[in-house]
Amino acid sequence: MRVLIADDEPIAIERLELALSCIPEVEIVGVAKTGKETLTLIRECEPDVAILDIQMPPPNGFGVLAGLKANDRIPEVIFVTAHEGHALKAFEVHAVDYLLKPVPFERLREAIKRAKQRLQARAADVRFAELQSIISALSARDPDAPRFEREIWVKEREGVIRVAVDTVDLFEAAGDYVIAHVGENTHLLNDSLSALEERLDPEIMLRVHRSVIANLARVRGIRRRGSRGLALIMQSGRQLPIGPTYLDGVMKSVKARRWRDGSE
């Protein structure tokens, strides 16, 4: 089975090459680092499977699919990405698979096996139609759709579960990950706090510190913290320090007045 790798991260490419070298029936026919190179190699090498990173120099993974024509040899597509945002939609339109970086070797093996089964079962025109469905579902922007995310999908041992954003008490940065605190439960997200902040409604989930986004509906009050600092008091009793950079925005959002020196 002929496989094309498309990713702009050398470490990710090396990891994929190593994993694919352990699958006897796989032949790597090309490696692309931009969307433009990917389109060229798909037409020149005619791979059976394309492993596409979503975030790469233009066109991105979705743009590559949009650039394919009906007379091209359409490969099966496995998405790889560092973000979870479009995972559910990918599954809904029957993408081969959607793998989060760093890609586990066994998950990649399973995805290749699934791609092989699909290749054997589907004609080229059917694969092209499915790719167009993926493009429409993942790239289209419905003007009537909510601007901000109202739910997140988090991985668990048996699959993924849906968590409504307004049920999350706070999001907390943890290295290259984010921890979602929901009551006494926590969920680990393969995301960055800054990227998550851009997708959340600031009237509901507000950045209050460089490492924390808080649910304003879960705020019970504001309290002095030390001689000059302030902290949010959550309904759980937890105190969240307000970063100096975010103080004015927090006070405005909770419709409170900033304390003057020597007064409350």
pLDDT at res. 51:
95
Residue 258 has pLDDT above 50, yes or no: no
Least confident residue range of 12-16, 118-122, 165-169? 118-122
Question: What does the alpha-carbon distance between residue 58 and residue 226 come to, in Å, rounded to a whole number?
Answer: 49
Question: What does the alpha-carbon distance between residue 195 and residue 191 come to, in Å, rounded to a whole number?
Answer: 7
Confidence tier at 254 by pLDDT (50, 70, 90): confident
Confidence tier at 235 by pLDDT (50, 70, 90): very high
Bridge partners for 79 per DSSP = 52, 98
Are residues 190 and 84 in contact, defined by beta-carbon separation less than 8 angstroms? yes
Residue 93 has pLDDT above 50, yes or no: no
Question: What does the alpha-carbon distance between residue 175 and residue 178 come to, in Å, rounded to a whole number?
Answer: 8
Confidence tier at 22 by pLDDT (50, 70, 90): very high
Residue 232 has pLDDT above 50, yes or no: yes
The closest alpha carbon to 87, from 36, 132, 151, belongs to 151
**Mean pLDDT within 194-198:** 87
Q: Measuring CA to CA, how many Å separate 193 from each of 88, 148, 180?
A: 20, 15, 10
Q: How many CB atoms neighbour CB 47 within 10 A?
A: 22
What confidence tens digit (pLDDT) does each residue in 116-150 have? 988 887 666 666 666 666 666 555 554 554 568 88
Domains and their CATH numbers in the chain: 2-139 (3.40.50.2300), 151-253 (2.40.50.1020)
Question: What does the alpha-carbon distance between residue 50 and residue 58 come to, in Å, rounded to a whole number?
Answer: 16
pTM: 0.52
**Mean pLDDT within 29-40:** 95
Question: What does the alpha-carbon distance between residue 27 and residue 21 come to, in Å, rounded to a whole number?
Answer: 8
Determine the 3-state secondary structure of 31 from DSSP.
strand
Most confidently predicted of 141-145, 248-252, 253-257:
248-252
pLDDT at res. 261:
42
Query: What's the order of all strands across the beta sheet hosting 76-81?
Result: 27-32, 2-6, 49-53, 76-81, 97-100
Residue 87 has pLDDT above 80, yes or no: no
pLDDT at res. 225:
85
Q: Measuring CA to CA, how many Å separate 91 from each of 78, 86, 87, 191?
A: 11, 9, 6, 19
Q: How many CB atoms neighbour CB 105 within 10 A?
A: 15
